[in-house]
C-alpha cells in the first residue's frame, strides 16, 4: 500500500503491510524507559523485601495508582514477583538492578528522558503524588492522525467486524477525529450515511481522509463541541470510540440516547481494567496512566454506566488487549 493508494484499500480489512516489527520495537523502547524510571527512583533497593504498591508509594512519595501499574509491568518483565498484593525483587533484579551489587547494570538504563518522552511523562505521573483529573490534551490534527494510525492496527477492524450495520441508514461517529472508523463503516456498507462530529479543526482532518478514500459523498462532517452543542437526531447507531472519559459520560450518554431513533444502538469502545493479565496489557495500562489517563473501569462498571442512562440489551465483546466493545439499545427519551 503506497501513500497514494487510499481508495484501493478497505479500512475494515487488516493493513496490507504488517506494522508489527515497528510496533514491537516501540513497545521495547517503552519497556526500556519503564525500567529506567524504576532504576532512577531506586525502586529495586526498596523491594528487597516484599511490599504492597501502596506501601512502596508512601515510602517513595509516589502516586499510588501509577505505582501499582508500574509494578505490574516490572512483574511481567521478570524483575519482580507478586504474591497476593505484595511485590518483591526476583533474583534478576537483586543481581542486576540494585546498585550495591557488583553485577549492577543500572548504567544501561541511565536515561535522562526529555519531559515529553514516555519516560519523562511516566516519571512526572509517578511523582505527581495525586490522581487529579488531568487537563484536556491539545487535540491537534497530528495527534489525532497518530491515534488513528494506532486504531488501524486492529481496533477499527475489530469494531467494524462485530457491529452489523447492514440494516442501518444513519451512523453518528461522535468525536470521530481522524475519521478512519467512519471510512471503514462507509466502505463496508455503501448505503450507510455517516456523520463525523468533532471540533471544527479536527473535522477538517477527517475531511481530508474522506476525500482521499473516495467516500466524501457518503460521509458528512459537522464541526462542534459534543459536550455543549446539539449532535442531531434520528440516528440508527452512534459510535463512541474512546470518548466517554470521566464526567463526559454523564453529559454525552443522555444526548446519545435522545439522538437515537427508537431501537437505535450505541457502540462503545473503551479501555477496561479486567482484561487479560499480560505484559502488553500491563504496559498499555501504565502508558494510559503516564500519558494522561486516570480511570480504568471493569466491564461490569461500563455496563452499569450504560444501564444507568437508560440503555438495555447490552452485549459485550472483549479482546485480548485492554479494550472491550459494548453495544446497547436506547430505550425511550433521555
Question: Tens digits of per-residue pLDDT, 178-201?
Answer: 899 999 999 999 999 999 999 888
C-alpha cell at 300: 461490569
pLDDT of residue 146: 87
Residue 37 CB: number of other CB atoms within 10 A? Answer: 25
Place 273 in a pLDDT band, splitting at 50, 70 and 90: very high
Residue 317: pLDDT over 60: yes
Lowest mean pLDDT among 51-55, 66-70, 135-139, 238-242: 135-139
Chain mean pLDDT for the chain: 90
Give the mean model confidence (pLDDT) for residues 243-262.
93
Q: Which residue has the higher pLDDT, 228 or 8?
A: 228
Check residue 1 and give its pLDDT: 41
- What phi and psi values does residue 65 have, to the nearest 5 degrees? -65, -50
- As assigned by CATH, the class of the 20-126 domain is mainly alpha
Provide the pLDDT confidence category of residue 3 given band limits of 50, 70 and 90. very low
Helices of type H across 190-271: 200-212, 248-259
**What is residue 8's predicted lDDT score, i.e. its pLDDT?**
64
For residue 252, how many C-alpha atoms fall within 13 Å in the half-sphere facing its CB?
25
Within the chain, which residue ranges are assigned CATH 3.40.50.150? 141-330
pTM for this entry? 0.89
pLDDT above 60 for 15:
yes
Helix (H/G/I), strand (E/B), else coil: 162: helix
- pLDDT at position 147, please? 87
Residue 223 has pLDDT above 60, yes or no: yes
Q: Which residue ranges does the chain devote to CATH 1.10.10.10?
A: 20-126
- How much is the pLDDT for 334? 46
Helices (H) and strands (E) in the chain, counts: 13, 10
CA dihedral 277, 283, 286, 292 (to 10 degrees): -130
Class of domain 141-330: alpha beta
Selected residue with higher pLDDT from 101 and 115: 101
Which segments of 61-172 does DSSP mark as H helices, in order? 64-76, 91-96, 118-126, 141-150, 156-162
CA distance 164 to 141: 29
Amino acid at each position: 500500500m503506497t501513500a497514494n493508494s487510499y481508495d484501493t484499500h478497505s479500512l475494515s480489512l487488516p493493513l496490507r503491510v504488517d506494522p508489527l516489527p515497528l510496533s514491537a520495537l516501540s513497545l521495547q523502547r517503552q519497556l526500556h524507559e519503564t525500567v529506567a524510571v524504576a532504576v532512577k527512583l531506586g525502586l529495586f533497593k526498596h523491594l528487597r523485601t516484599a511490599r504492597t504498591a501502596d506501601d512502596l508509594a508512601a515510602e517513595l512519595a509516589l502516586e499510588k495508582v501509577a505505582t501499582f501499574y508500574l509494578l505490574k509491568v516490572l512483574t511481567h518483565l521478570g524483575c519482580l514477583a507478586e504474591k497476593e498484593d505484595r511485590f518483591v525483587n526476583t533474583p534478576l533484579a537483586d543481581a542486576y538492578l540494585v546498585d550495591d551489587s557488583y553485577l549492577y547494570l543500572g548504567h544501561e538504563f541511565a536515561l535522562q528522558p526529555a519531559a515529553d518522552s514516555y519516560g519523562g511523562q511516566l516519571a512526572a505521573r509517578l511523582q505527581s503524588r495525586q490522581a487529579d483529573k488531568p487537563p484536556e490534551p491539545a487535540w491537534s490534527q497530528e495527534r489525532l492522525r497518530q491515534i488513528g494510525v494506532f486504531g488501524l492496527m486492529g481496533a477499527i477492524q475489530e469494531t467494524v467486524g462485530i457491529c452489523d450495520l447492514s440494516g442501518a441508514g444513519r451512523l453518528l461517529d461522535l468525536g470521530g477525529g481522524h475519521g478512519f472508523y467512519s471510512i471503514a463503516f462507509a466502505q463496508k456498507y455503501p448505503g450507510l450515511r455517516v456523520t463525523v462530529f468533532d471540533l471544527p479543526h479536527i473535522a477538517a482532518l477527517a475531511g481530508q481522509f474522506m476525500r482521499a478514500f473516495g467516500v466524501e459523498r457518503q460521509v458528512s462532517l459537522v464541526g462542534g463541541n459534543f459536550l455543549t452543542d446539539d449532535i442531531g437526531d434520528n440516528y440508527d447507531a452512534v459510535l463512541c470510540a474512546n470518548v466517554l472519559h470521566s464526567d463526559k459520560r454523564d453529559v454525552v450518554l443522555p444526548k446519545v440516547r435522545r439522538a437515537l431513533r427508537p431501537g437505535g444502538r450505541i457502540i462503545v469502545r473503551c479501555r477496561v481494567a479486567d482484561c487479560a493479565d499480560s505484559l502488553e496489557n500491563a504496559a498499555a495500562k501504565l502508558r494510559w496512566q503516564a500519558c494522561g489517563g486516570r480511570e480504568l473501569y471493569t466491564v461490569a462498571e461500563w455496563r452499569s454506566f450504560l444501564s444507568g442512562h437508560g440503555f438495555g440489551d447490552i452485549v459485550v465483546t472483549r479482546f485480548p488487549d485492554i479494550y472491550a466493545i459494548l453495544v446497547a439499545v436506547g430505550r425511550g427519551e433521555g
